[in-house]
Structure 1
């Protein structure tokens, strides 16, 4: 059905309804008058037409009502005047509703056009924050992805980064306080510090310090950033600095699952120096085929209809998929199935593992 034909059918619908009401009124006879029901025509028109069209439809309905009342000899009866008043009142209310609907639709269309115009800028911004991660970096295979909760602002406060270093790889995943463009600006600044320092700075601690300084340089220096810095070396050692973030999840090649919890928890960037405390520290050795998942709270805080959080451990077996990218897709699908409503938080994931089944 073409747009023109559909439009004509929509325009004719109120009058088809009016015709049906008139026919019913004639059939029931003088015992039961349906004059007031003629007001249904402008009410129906308000659903799709503009205000002037609704008024015109109401005028037609009132004219038909008068003709029918005159033909029946009841044009000056009390019931007739009630019908006239009803048609006029419903027409006025319907026209007002149509005007409001049209304004809302126009504002929505303008917003959509503005977003369309910004789409190239948003794509560039996403590429800056979420630059593509190669399938293999140094001694590990990697897959990463991020989804943003807001459709109008498809960038947010989650961040991740991967950098190769001699004999290993360094990674970061984090969550900036807040949402939207302001949080994205903070994420870009902090992530830029990681990308600059990670390839050559001697330790994770020094990288964390540079990211802390980058955070303080911004106008929004009162924000804090929860993040995890990890380093994996060719000898199989995984080092983790946890700045108040969710602990990495290790899925062992034998099917065991464990969180990499620091002995002493750390505070997010922006808060640690205020209290004189450093990050939480963990160190372990990975076996060939082990996999490590870094994730933000948008994953584990997805709720079902009963208000229960997403049970990440119960779905850890999804990380066993032969391809890392497929494992992340399966995990995201499980989160979406669990959630009963659109998620209100961004969700970033990084999955990596050494040799064997990781590629």
Structure 2
């Protein structure tokens, strides 16, 4: 599944620095009208009145409508008109047909540029409103995870495949309830609003069931029921559910999701693979048995990384997948958030461009009770 990174509080961050790219683009577009008018003036002065380049000064107000406001567009239009008068005087064209046509052309393009600027600004305001609503929806859908949950420390990261994305089909949650700390990381099949709706459904059902159900299987059954009431049969959700026990173990349920990676306190790396594969959530029509809970050791100093397939399927320019197992040494920082951020930055550097899929990661660390 939309720039971004969540640590403590959701704040999407795209795979590249959008602010820097936009700033550079704004500077280029802002200078373009003046550059074009300077070029036209220089060419006209060097070629003389015979060719008739003065009307091309209208490129100034035309490009001015792409950035900035109405006043700026008008100002550049007036500068173009002043240059046109000056060049007409220099070429002895003022009051003659070529000089008059250049003034008319520049005036018309300036008027059109002003109208275009007003329309662009209206659309920008509408887009800003939509982004604001999306940001609020993001905070509701993917709430901040607690930094400390029971005997665990937690950090989360979400890198969007699209710079402007705010919400999508990757999901995560950490709930501390009567039965302990319960966690979910999942990935909705598909994109767009339908994926967002499904993610919201799963998270809502999980948040409620994680508090109510005494067993982890009961939580997963509630998720299945909620999904099967909505999904059409071709949609599904891969997910890993986990329950942490203070005694030094984790109970896991894996619904067709990438196996979590465990980094032991002694540096050993292993994947928490289920004994038998199971279909994703929402596939009740297959009439097959769901996953069986399995338990792994999770002692003080151990870490477990739950992630979506956007992490391990991220490719570099040569088509090589991201070598997650080889990069877990980046999780050495004492601060889980800083450690996860180091891994996220390495993932972005590996791809060296936009991700093809959103990448969510949830890091849990076991600490002394």
1:235 to partner: Cα distance: 1.9
User: Contact 1:14–1:42 at 8 Å: present in 2 too?
Assistant: no
**Whole-Å separation in 2 of the counterparts to 1:10 and 1:265:** 58
Deviates more, 1:311-320 or 1:105-114: 105-114
**Whole-Å separation in 2 of the counterparts to 1:168 and 1:70:** 86
Which residue among 165, 183, 186 is the counterpart of 2:195?
Answer: 183
1:25 equivalent in structure 2:
47
1:203 to partner: Cα distance: 1.9
Superposed counterparts of 1:157-172, under 5 Å? 157-166=169-178, 168-172=180-184
User: What secondary structure sits across from 1:333 in the alignment?
Assistant: helix
1:234 to partner: Cα distance: 1.8
User: Contact 1:292–1:352 at 8 Å: present in 2 too?
Assistant: yes
**Whole-Å separation in 2 of the counterparts to 1:165 and 1:109:** 44
Counterpart check, 1:48 vs 2:64: yes
Counterpart check, 1:223 vs 2:239: no
2:286 equivalent in structure 1:
274
Which residue among 190, 205, 213 is the counterpart of 1:193?
Answer: 205
Q: Deviations over 1:248-294 (max 9, x none)?
A: 00001111111111121111111255241312653222232111110
2:316 equivalent in structure 1:
304
Greater relative contact order (CA < 8 Å, ≥ 6 in sequence): 2
Counterpart check, 1:112 vs 2:134: no
The change in CA–CA distance for 1:10 and 1:341 in structure 2 (over 3 A counts) is closer
User: Contact 1:224–1:268 at 8 Å: present in 2 too?
Assistant: yes
User: Contact 2:179–2:214 at 8 Å: present in 1 too?
Assistant: no
User: Contact 1:168–1:233 at 8 Å: present in 2 too?
Assistant: yes
Superposed counterparts of 1:1-359, under 5 Å? 16-26=38-48, 35-49=51-65, 68=91, 105-106=120-121, 108-115=123-130, 119=132, 121-166=133-178, 168-218=180-230, 222-279=234-291, 281-356=293-368
User: Contact 1:139–1:168 at 8 Å: present in 2 too?
Assistant: no
User: What secondary structure sits across from 1:46 in the alignment?
Assistant: helix
User: Contact 2:33–2:59 at 8 Å: present in 1 too?
Assistant: no
* Structure 2 alignment gaps of length 5 or more: 1-29
The change in CA–CA distance for 1:9 and 1:355 in structure 2 (over 3 A counts) is closer
TM-score (structure 2 length as normaliser): 0.74
Rg comparison, structure with higher value: 1
CA RMSD across the alignment? 4.0
Deviates more, 1:161-170 or 1:236-245: 161-170
1:96 to partner: Cα distance: 12
TM-score (structure 1 length as normaliser): 0.75
**Whole-Å separation in 2 of the counterparts to 1:269 and 1:126:** 23
User: Contact 2:157–2:344 at 8 Å: present in 1 too?
Assistant: no
User: Contact 1:142–1:351 at 8 Å: present in 2 too?
Assistant: yes
1:216 to partner: Cα distance: 2.2
Deviates more, 1:11-20 or 1:172-181: 11-20
**Whole-Å separation in 2 of the counterparts to 1:12 and 1:125:** 42
User: Contact 1:264–1:281 at 8 Å: present in 2 too?
Assistant: no
User: What secondary structure sits across from 2:63 in the alignment?
Assistant: coil
